[in-house]
Amino acid sequence: MKTLSAALAALSLVVASAASAAPVTISVQQSAVDGYAADLFSGDSTPFSDQHTFSVGSPTTLSGQIRTVIVDGDPTATTPYLDITSVYLESTTGTRIDFFETVGFNWARGQSGVEVWDLSTVQLAAGQWTLFVNGFGINDKGADGYAGRLTGTAADLPEPAALALVAAALAAVGLSRRRRNA
C-alpha cells in the first residue's frame, strides 16, 4: 500500500506541473515619428482612436498600464502633450474591461503632463481581445504618443495523456481500497 501511495504522490506532482501557468506579455506602443499632434495651423487638438488586437489561447490573468510618452517636439519638453480619455479591453463576445486613470493631468490648468492608466488584475477568457486607446493630440510643436505593457499568466491545460494517467491512478486507488475491504 505504501508503494502505491508513493506512486500516486509522484503522479500528482507530474500532473500538477503539467497544469502550471505560462507567462504572458503584451506590449503596445504608439510612438511613430508622427505620433499625435494638434492641428499645426489652428492649434486645435486632434482626436485619435487606436485598436491593438491580440489573442489568448487559454484563460489568462492580466494586469498592466499605459502611459503617455514624448515622441517628437520641443527638445526642452519634459512631459507629453497627449490627453488619453479612455482605455479598455473588449472581447469578441462583447465583454468590456476598463482601465482607470491613476495619474491624471488637468488640461485646463496646464499645457503638458504625464498620464498613467492602470489595469487591475483581471481574468481574460480565451479568445480574441482588442485594446482600445482613445484621446486627443494637443502638441502644436511636435508629436507625442503612449506605451504600455500588460503582463500575467496563462493557465496551461493538461494534455489528454496526463488526464488518462490521472484516471488510471484513480482506478488503482479504488481497486486497492476494494481489495483491502474484501
Average pLDDT on 127-137 reads: 91
Q: How many residues does the chain have?
A: 182
3-state secondary structure at position 10:
helix
- Of the chain, the percentage scoring pLDDT greater than 70 comes to 57
Locate 100 and state its grid cell.
482607470
Most confident of 50-59, 108-117, 158-167: 50-59
pLDDT at 32: 57
Is 149:6 a contact under the CB 8 Å cutoff?
no
pLDDT at 26: 80
pLDDT-based confidence at 122, cuts 50/70/90? Answer: very high
∠ CA 27-23-26 to the nearest 5 degrees?
10
pLDDT at 65: 93
Most confident of 32-41, 101-110, 154-163: 101-110
Residue among 3, 1, 12 nearest 170 (CA)? 12
Question: Higher pLDDT residue, 144 or 86?
Answer: 86
pLDDT at 5: 45
pLDDT-based confidence at 134, cuts 50/70/90? Answer: very high
Query: What's the pLDDT tens digit per position in 3-26?
Result: 444 444 444 444 444 445 577 778
From residue 50, give the alpha-carbon distance in Å to each of 20, 45, 77, 89, 160.
Answer: 34, 16, 24, 12, 40
Rounded Cα–Cα distance for residues 18 and 105 (Å): 46
Average pLDDT on 111-130 reads: 89
Query: What's the pLDDT tens digit per position in 55-70?
Result: 988 899 999 999 888 7
Q: Where in the chain are the domains?
A: 23-181
Task: Quote the mean pLDDT of the chain.
Answer: 75
| Lowest mean pLDDT, pick from 40-44, 71-75, 104-108 | 71-75
pLDDT at 87: 96
- The CATH code belonging to domain 23-181 is 2.60.120
Question: Higher pLDDT residue, 166 or 83?
Answer: 83
